[in-house]
Amino acid sequence: MRAVSPTPARESVPFDPAPVPFSAVVTEPALLDALSQRGYVLTTPIQSAVLPYAMAGRDIIGCAETGTGKTAAYVLPVLSRLIREDREAGPRKSHHATRALILAPTRELATQIDDEIQGFAYHAPVASAAVYGGVPMGPQERSLQAGVDIVVATPGRLLDHMRSSIGDFSKLEVFVLDEADRMMDMGFWPDVRKIAETISVSSNRQTMLFSATMPEEVMRFADALAPNAVFVQVGSRRGPAQTISHEAHVVPSREKVSFLAKYLRRTLEPTIVFVNTKIGADRLARQLSASGLRAEAIHADRSQKDRTEAMESFRTGRTKILVATDVAARGIDIDDVGLIVNYEVPRGLDSYVHRVGRTGRYDAKGHALTLADPSERRDLEALEQAFGLKFG
C-alpha cells in the first residue's frame, strides 16, 4: 500500500470555527437572497475559517475533511467578486473573457460545482459552464467562444479546448483547484501544471486551492502558484472524519459476494460499495442484483448519460446500492449515505480517507466496512496503524 506522503510542517492561520450567519460575511443582496431560499443559515467551520480571508481577496490553501462545505467556501467569494465588479463597471459586451476558472478531477464533481454556482447565482447576471469529457465538444466550444464568467472544468478536456484556441482566459481573475490531491493521484497533475502555466497571471488574481489531504507535492505546487497564500487547516490533514465508525472482516474473495449480500440486507442505509476495477464494479453490481438487491455500477467507462442516470437513481433513493470505482470517491455530495463498503482494501491510505468520506458528512454519523481477503491482511494493518483505527 502506498504510504501517505509527508506534509511540510506548517501552521494554519488563526480562525474561529464557530458558526456565524452568512449575512455576517456575505454582503451582496443577490447572494443573500439565494442563500436564504436554499436554506443556508450558518457557516460550517471551513466556511467560518476561509470566508473572511477569501472575501478580502486573499489567496487560500484550504484543507478540511470531506463533506464540510468547501465548495461554498470558494464559490461564494468568487460570485461576490464578480457581482460587485459588474455593478461597478456597468453593462458589459456580450462577448467577454472568462473571469474565473475552477478545476476539478471528475465529471461528476465539475457538474456538481456548476450546479452550486447556478443555484447561488440565480438572482445574479453571472454565467457559468461545465467542461468535461465523455460528451460532445461542440456545446462546450460554443459556450467558451461566447464567453462565460466562470468555467468549471476537468483538466484533460479543458486542455483539449485550449489546444484548439477555444476560450479566452487572458483576463482571468480567480483560479481555483478543488480536490487537488485527487488530481495528483488520478494522473491529472501534468495537465494541471500545463493549464497553470498557460493562463495569464496578474497582480490581482486570486488563487484558491482546496483539498481534504495535502501531500507534499501538492503543497509545493500550491506554494509556487500562490506564495503569499494563507494556509487554513480545519480538522485532521490526513485522517477520516471523527463521525465515521470503522469495521473490517477478513473474508476469502470467493465468499465476499454472499457475505456482503447478507450484510446489506440487514441495513436500510443508502450504500456506496467501492471496488478497485471497472470490470469488478460491473460484475459486483450484477451479482448483487441477482441476489435481489438493486444495485447500479458507476465507473469511467460508462457513458456520461449512464453515469448521470445511475447517480440520480441513487440520489433519489430508487437505487440503494451504488457500486463504484474511485471515480466516485471524491466530491460527490449526497448527504444521507450511511454506509461505505470497501470491497477490497483500498490501494492507498489516501483512497481510504476519501472513500469513507462519502459518509459522515456535515457532522452526520457514518459507518465504513472493509472486506479483506487473507492476502490483504497486511494492507488492513497499515490502515489501522496509519489512522489509529480499531476495526471490529
Residue type, 343: Y
Question: Which pLDDT value is given to residue 360?
Answer: 72
Grouping H, G, I as helix, E, B as strand and the rest as coil, residue 170 is: coil
Q: Coil, strand, or helix at residue 291? A: coil
pTM above the 0.85 mark? no
pLDDT tier, 2 (very low <50, low <70, confident <90, very high otherwise): very low
Kindly state the average pLDDT of the residues 291-312: 85
Question: What is the pLDDT, as a whole number, of residue 307?
Answer: 81
pLDDT-derived band at 9 (thresholds 50, 70, 90) equals low
**For the chain, percent of residues with pLDDT exceeding 90:** 47
Report DSSP state, residue 12.
P
Structure-block grid coordinates of residue 255: 465468499
% of the chain with per-residue pLDDT over 70: 91
In which band, very low, low, confident or very high, does the pLDDT at 5 lie, cut at 50, 70 and 90? Answer: very low
Residue 69 clears pLDDT 70, i.e. is over it:
yes
CB 181 within 8 A of CB 7: no
Condensed to tens digits (0 to 9), the pLDDT of residues 115-152 reads 999 999 988 889 999 999 888 999 999 999 988 999 99
Tell me the CA distances in angstroms from 200 to 46, 69, 276, one per residue in order.
29, 29, 38
Q: Which domains are assigned to the chain? A: 22-234 (3.40.50.300), 244-387 (3.40.50.300)
CA distance 236 to 341: 22
Question: Within 13 A of 131's CA, how many CA atoms are on the CB side?
Answer: 30
The stretch 351-377 carries a mean pLDDT of: 83
One-character DSSP codes across 218-271: HHHHHHHH-TTPEEEEES-SSSPPTTEEEEEEE--GGGHHHHHHHHHHT--S-E
